Amino acid sequence: MRASFVLLCLLGLVMPAVSQSNYAVVTGTVTDPQSLPVSGATVHFKALSTGTIRVLATNDRGLFSAPALAPDDYEVTTEATGFAAVKQSLRLEVGEKLAIEIELMVGGVKEGVQVSAAADVLRTTDASVGEVVERQSVQELPLNGRMLVDLVLTVPGAHVGFGAQTGQTNPLYWRPGQRSAIVIGGSRPNANFFLLDGATNTDPTFNTQNLSPSPDAVMEFQVETSSYTADMGGAGGGQINIVTRGGTNQYHGTAYEFLRNGAVDATTFGSMGNNHLVQNNFGASFGGPLLGSDKKTFFFLNYEGLRLAQADAQTLTVPTTDEIMGDFSMSNAKIYDPTMAVANPSYDPTKPTGPNNYPYTRSQFTNNKIPSDRINHELESFLLQYLPMPNMTMGMASGVDSNNYLDIRNETHYQDQGTVRVDHVFENNDTVSGRYSVSAEHGFSPSSGMTSTTENLPGFGADFDNLSQQAVATWNHVFSSSRLNTVSLAFSRLSMDRTSQNNGVNDIVTQLGIQGVGFGGPGAWGAPWFAAQGYTGIGDTFAATPMHAWDTTAELRDTFAWQRGRHGIKFGGDFRRYIWPMWGFFQNRGYYQYTTGYTTEFGFNDGSGSGLASLLLSLPAVKQRQAGVPQMNLRNWGGDALRTQISYSRTACRKFLSAASRDIRGDCCIRTNTTSRRALESRRTCPGSDLYSAPRTAFSSRQWTRTPGATSATTCPMYFPKRSRPTTLRRPRRCLPAASISIRRCWETVR
């Protein structure tokens, strides 16, 4: 009684789970030639790559369940006393839930039956929607840069997304070349959930992929887009479940080098004829059985490197040398002295005051030149030292400089990653696997984007240095042929560093003599950000330079699968510990914005004046600074206390009425399956009750098939006890509807 109470309490805590499974599950029924269940039959699942064997036995209803099967090609052998052995081949994919039916033939011990028909590809055990990108696609489809996430685009409903997940738009997540911005089923790119060998591989900062494994280290992966089962659903978008390769019972190895360059590439308009590109992908993998392990222990090693250098062309706007020295006589922009205001002789007091009728006006600088004693000489020296000079003449249609500098600098990416995996099979069919993957990324980005506040002039680029790690250990313990437990422990970490070119090199803030800014010491050295209206921003990027973030996720998961009678029960828990410390500098060197307003004729936007002239006169419209060092240290426990998935396997039978013996016999012909995410559904039959007066429990189906020659057809099976001498067989009552039940067909035959 107490145990039942505890069980009910636990079931009341059932929640949608985020624990994931990278294994396949096979359920099935073993019957004889008359479609009667065969109890005690032995079912052998042999993995062809490693020779690992899982042995199961059918229960008294002829049912078996084989959870936690690694994706592989299998040979399934079914044996029972008095029947010929049956062999068939199966290919199991990641996350697959397959239901099969095995029919044994009467025969001697030495006889056998080879089944060559392919398994049914229709999903009859769950309603999830998705697709598996199989190993042939992973190994043979060409990938630019060998980014595995690009293969997700082959799944219907997936396309390229935007945002921080691109790795090149948000300074807090700066990972050029490590994109994971994929839109699946219309969801946002930050709504996806990534798994690696069934363990969380999602960086929670922006819900991006932590570690992107080499395609040579991946067997296959599954993308589920909707209608997730209880063991899936870590986010509202797509569930991307990747499975790495393991060693086999034979030694296999690969070595490769992929070279791409821009020798025959077409050039875009923005590149202005500069298509320099050199990209090298190279690596090797090797796996097989460990020596002296009697082919019970297998290993797999993989390394991949990337070397990329490509020209980034930007069309920018910079001032000329004369303009930096205050001479705007060639710019056609009239510069007015903000300290000299005189009466406007054209002002009409009878008309409304406005841009065309203002009481005061400013005096224009003589010859459109700012006197030397009015210029901030520290700023002037800084601009002459660090700013490039124009190298194009794009015209001055607007009266100011415009698109007069073509910036061509190399963007570089360097990446080295590796994977080590070991699998061991014990004598009692227990399996243990462990894997560690690491990826180091570093490089240089000439700019932080393509907007006026993210484009950077030469000398003010950003360096990045990132390290991602992911490790998982899994133990599958077989208690019996009907009970199996899977426990795993996983760790993932992503460390990101982003700095500007002048951090630790040039203390430009001190050179300019600016007080009250420049926090952080030598590591935060650099130039303030000067945004002069009409010109490309000048200085080091003000957002997250330098920045350091290192987040860690520890995850413990346990799943127990139990086949009891016609019911398959799978429940477990998922507990995670999340730690995210980070610090970053935002405007610590100062942010200054200069508009044309201070040097216009009337003091507002009237088409005159220059943002650069306001900068030389030290008249900013906006001044911002950071005081101190922004930092945080987030820590969180999370997970699901209990997750449950119940699958019901019931048999509905054809009923035969024998006029001679007047007894009722049934041979099984239908299996119905139900999956419940939150709670058990109560279903009961009434054995021992009278045929005509007994209450009946039945489950409806929206589809039914009339069998040729049958005298009646029903929408669901009807269960009733055996009666010795019935005279008639009543039509079943209409069944009550029940959700999430699928019945292939159901009929009655009277003879």
User: Which 3 state secondary structure label does DSSP give 150?
Assistant: helix
Q: Please give the pLDDT value at position 526.
A: 93
Nearest residue to 45 (alpha-carbon basis) of 16, 22, 23: 23
Distance CA 441, CA 145 (A): 14
Q: What is the dihedral of CA 615, 621, 627, 629, to 10 degrees?
A: -70
Residue 137 class from Cβ within 10 Å (0-12 exposed, 13-18 middle, 19+ buried)?
middle
- The DSSP symbol for 615 reads H
Q: Please give the pLDDT value at position 305.
A: 96
Percent of the chain surpassing pLDDT 90: 38
Instruction: Give strand pairing partners of 635.
Output: 579
Cis bond before residue 446 (omega within 30° of 0): no
Q: Please give the pLDDT value at position 244.
A: 93
Look-up of token digits 């973030």: 549
Instruction: Name the residue type at position 271.
Output: S
3-state secondary structure 5-59: HHHHHHHHCCCCCCCCCCCEEEEEEEECCCCCECCCCEEEEEECCCCCEEEEECC
Q: How confident is the model at residue 96 (pLDDT cuts 50, 70, 90)?
A: confident
Q: How confident is the model at residue 529 (pLDDT cuts 50, 70, 90)?
A: very high
Residue 664 scores a pLDDT above 90: no
547-560: b (≥16 Cβ within 10 Å) or e: bbbebbbebebbbb
User: Which 3 state secondary structure label does DSSP give 216?
Assistant: helix
Q: Please give the pLDDT value at position 553.
A: 93
Token pair for 387: 């700013």
- The DSSP symbol for 512 reads H
Tens of pLDDT, residue by residue over 249-271, are 899 999 999 999 888 888 877 77
Beta strands in 93-230 (DSSP E): 97-103, 105-106, 112-115, 129-133, 158-160, 182-184, 193-196, 199-200, 202-203, 208-209, 218-226
Q: Please give the pLDDT value at position 294.
A: 77
The mean pLDDT of the chain is 78
Tens of pLDDT, residue by residue over 203-233, are 888 889 999 999 999 999 888 888 777 667 6
User: Which 3 state secondary structure label does DSSP give 426?
Assistant: coil
Percent of the chain surpassing pLDDT 70: 77
Distance CA 175, CA 183 (A): 19
Lowest mean per-residue pLDDT among 92-96, 301-305, 372-376:
92-96
Nearest residue to 720 (alpha-carbon basis) of 660, 646, 663, 649: 663
Q: φ and ψ at 586, to 5 degrees? A: -130, 110
Domains of the chain with bracketed CATH: 11-123 (2.60.40.1120), 132-315+408-589+626-640 (no CATH), 319-386+591-624 (no CATH), 651-751 (no CATH)
Lowest mean per-residue pLDDT among 205-219, 330-344, 597-611, 715-729:
715-729
Distance CA 287, CA 250 (A): 8
Q: Please give the pLDDT value at position 126.
A: 62
Q: Please give the pLDDT value at position 111.
A: 55
Token pair for 124: 């009859």
CA 504, 506, 509, 513 torsion-angle sign: positive
Q: Cβ atoms within 10 A of the Cβ of 516, count?
A: 9
Contact 289, 298 (CB under 8 A): yes
Nearest residue to 564 (alpha-carbon basis) of 486, 485, 649: 649
Instruction: Give strand pairing partners of 445.
Output: 462
Tens of pLDDT, residue by residue over 384-406, are 999 999 988 754 434 456 889 99
Distance CA 212, CA 214 (A): 7
Q: Cβ atoms within 10 A of the Cβ of 267, count?
A: 13
Residue 325 scores a pLDDT above 50: yes
Q: How much is the average pLDDT of 655-663?
A: 31
Residue 530 scores a pLDDT above 80: yes
Q: How confident is the model at residue 697 (pLDDT cuts 50, 70, 90)?
A: very low
Token pair for 236: 């509202």
Contact 560, 478 (CB under 8 A): no
Tens of pLDDT, residue by residue over 61-78, are 899 988 888 888 999 999
Distance CA 347, CA 344 (A): 5
Q: Please give the pLDDT value at position 394.
A: 56
Residue 26 class from Cβ within 10 Å (0-12 exposed, 13-18 middle, 19+ buried)?
buried
Contact 93, 57 (CB under 8 A): no
Torsional class of 653: left (φ above 0), alpha (ψ -120 to 50), beta (otherwise): beta
Distance CA 388, CA 410 (A): 17
CB under 8 Å to 164, separation ≥6 — which residues? 170, 172, 173, 190, 206, 208
Token pair for 138: 């992973």
Cα 699–chain centre separation? 39
Q: How much is the average pLDDT of 145-162?
A: 89
Contact 121, 132 (CB under 8 A): no
User: Which 3 state secondary structure label does DSSP give 486?
Assistant: strand
Q: Cβ atoms within 10 A of the Cβ of 512, count?
A: 20
Residue 13 scores a pLDDT above 60: no
Lowest mean per-residue pLDDT among 137-151, 314-328, 643-657, 678-692:
678-692
Q: Please give the pLDDT value at position 641.
A: 52
Tens of pLDDT, residue by residue over 540-572, are 988 888 999 999 999 999 988 888 777 778 788
